[in-house]
Structure 1
Amino acid sequence: MKLIPMTIAALMIAAPAFALVPINQEKTINGTLRSGFIADAIADNCPTMQPRKLRALNELLKLRDYALRAGYSAAEVRAFVENPAEKARGKAEAAAWLAQKGAVPGQTAAYCAVGEAEIARGSLIGSLLRSTR
């Protein structure tokens, strides 16, 4: 009989881990990574935008810590960020977001305009960029 309360307590403590959504569907993780992919695309396509590499590294470390606190294992996090299919998905989502903002490949001015707007807005995307204009 003493084992039942201990078992119930252990299950209650472990319950949040059972409720985790797959890491590739977690909104905060995916939203932050998408912002990084968007900033990378802007920096790659706009000659007056440069990536803030230390800021990006800091954001990745904060995101890793968030994922670990949420209950994902270090192996899950590593597998997710190193997965080529997930990287391709993230880049495709970034391209779609940029296209909605008017930035399409070959139009450097449009990428620059989006980057400048994000910097002015103070968004995560903007914080990952530096304008050299």
Structure 2
Amino acid sequence: MRKVILSLSILALSAGAVAAKPKLRDVPRIDDAVFDVAVADRIRKKCPSINPRVVKAYALYRETRKHARSLGYTDDEIEAYGDSDAEKARMRAKGEAYLRAQGVVAGDAQSYCAVGRKEIQKASRIGSLLKEK
């Protein structure tokens, strides 16, 4: 009986630990990587003289996904985060605010290009996902 109680206690504690896992949006390493990809993607779509570094973006995707798995997130949880319309809208708003703060003017492709070139020159993670044509 004592073993059964001990086993149930351990099971309850481990279930509590799984339930206590934060949302992926609250894991800075993951959310920051998604943010950087989103901003780089926005820049490359708006600036005609900047292309994406697809291999770098894919490597970051794989690294971020691997990290999420190492924290105990399932593939389904990772997919749900990536496919969530609410998360996409949140990331879009966050990215647009960042770009505005960097001097981007909506509808002005050259302002996106200027920010993209600045990110490339800084060798930021956003810049590492971009290249000039």
Q: Does TM, normalized by the shorter one, top 0.5?
A: yes
- CA shift digits 1:34-65 (9 cap, x unpaired): 11110011101111110111211111111111
2: distance between equivalents of 1:39 and 1:121? 14
Query: What runs of 5+ residues in structure 1 fail to find an aligned partner?
Result: none
2: distance between equivalents of 1:27 and 1:106? 31
Amino acid in the other structure paired with 1:49: I
- CA shift digits 1:80-110 (9 cap, x unpaired): 1011221122111111110010112212222
**C-alpha contact (below 8 Å) 1:103/1:114 kept by paired residues:** yes
2: distance between equivalents of 1:110 and 1:43? 12
Alignment of 1:28-67 (within 5 A): 28-67=29-68
**SS in structure 1 of the partner of residue 64 of structure 2:** helix
Greater shift after overlay, 119-128 or 17-26? 17-26
TM-score, scaled relative to structure 1: 0.86
Are 1:22 and 2:23 an aligned pair?
Answer: yes
2: distance between equivalents of 1:129 and 1:14? 42
Q: 1:11 to 1:97 in 2, by over 3 A?
A: same
Amino acid in the other structure paired with 1:130: K
1:109 aligned partner: 110
Query: What runs of 5+ residues in structure 2 fail to find an aligned partner?
Result: none
2: distance between equivalents of 1:81 and 1:122? 26
**What is the root-mean-square deviation in Å for CA atoms of aligned residues?**
1.9
State the number of aligned residues: 132
2: distance between equivalents of 1:94 and 1:110? 15
Amino acid in the other structure paired with 2:78: V
2: distance between equivalents of 1:104 and 1:89? 20
Greater shift after overlay, 99-108 or 13-22? 13-22
Percent identity over paired residues: 33
**SS in structure 2 of the partner of residue 130 of structure 1:** strand
